[in-house]
Amino acid sequence: MDWSRGEVLGRGSFATVSLAHVRRPSGDPLPPLMAVKSTPLSASAVLRHEEAVLSRLDGCPYLIRCFCSDVVYSCAEESYNIFLEYAGGGSLRDLLLRSGGRFPEPAVRRYTRAILLGLHYVHECGYAHCDVKLQNVLVFDGGAVKISDFGLAKKADDRAKGFRGTPLYMSPEAAARDEHGAPGDIWALGCAVVEMATGRPPWPNPTDGDAWGLLFKIAFSDASPEIPADLSEQGKDFLRLCFAKDPAERWTAEMLLRHPFVASTDAVEDIAGAPWQCTTPLGGSPTNVLEIPSYASSSPMEEENIPADSYGLFPTDRILELASPAPPNWASSPCIDSDWMEVRAGVLIQSISP
């Protein structure tokens, strides 16, 4: 592919995002303007992982699209590049700041529904995003929004432990036990809704650098992000379902799409502007607990390395059995959003986290 690098849009820990101008032969389906995410070839594992995940998730209009990749060889350094859709409106966080610091509730509902549709597809495909936040939702012409930055995404059945995500949006089970999965994405979505509705981070005083204190509070206290007082009763109920401390009791993306906060007539507009539906049919909003489907998970008989005598444990007992007695090592935890530098306001700012 014949292309040239344009202005830098943003820099993260492991990559730089720039404009890419493509010189296309006649009939080439690639867009003439893309965002190129680049990193040294020797440190390209995160970008290669993101490219692989996006290739498996291709087809959903609520997720950023990855077109292709290449390697540039030069005298100075070899670089690995992935080419993504260019979002001229920047991130949803950028849009929030340009909109006076908060969104009216109808806009919150529409953006929340679009994010939920993307997460439902991700979870249905067997993945968890693991870093849902407004900075990782990109805004396109016409108001369409798409989830981006899949560098930390993981398979739902991947039991590998390790710190991932942004402390402000981290779920209790992630902070306490390094458990990252679809329920954690829903907790983070709730944090994003709070931020859209109030213009403030989901937790107070998040910029004092005390990541350990914040994570300890999330993991081991009864506290949850404060639900905005001026939000409708439907919105408050929606957030309570997102902020269930027990991940087994937290509603799934599929269930939340039936909630009246996003399913009512003034929130059903498809702002992605593309004819697409979830592959799982969505019914009406549940009216009682008996109508709520069980959270999808693997049968214990299908899991490897689980002692036979643990099959009968209750879920909470099983979690306690699996949890390590040693506290997490936060020494290498990043400060909140400290790995980001904005280069130009109002354009694509997309983080790359370790």
Angle at the Cα of 251 from the Cα atoms of 108 and 330, rounded to 5 degrees:
85
Question: Residues 6 or more apart from 342 whose CB is under 8 A from it?
Answer: 10, 349
135 contacts 197 by C-beta, under 8 angstroms: no
Q: Within a 10 A sphere around the Cβ of 97, how many other Cβ atoms?
A: 16
CA–CA separation, 322 vs 341, rounded Å?
38
Q: Which of 94, 131, 149, 185 is catalytic?
A: 131
Reported as half-sphere exposure (CB side, CA atoms, 13 A), residue 152 has a value of 27
CA–CA separation, 216 vs 351, rounded Å?
24
Is 131 catalytic? The answer is yes
What sections of the chain are H helices per DSSP?
A: 45-56, 92-98, 105-124, 172-177, 182-198, 211-220, 233-242, 253-256, 260-263, 315-322
Q: How far is CA 223 from CA 189, 227, 250, in A?
A: 17, 11, 15
Helices vs. strands in the chain: H and E counts, helices first:
10, 10
DSSP 166: -
Strand partners, 115: none
Catalytic residues: 131
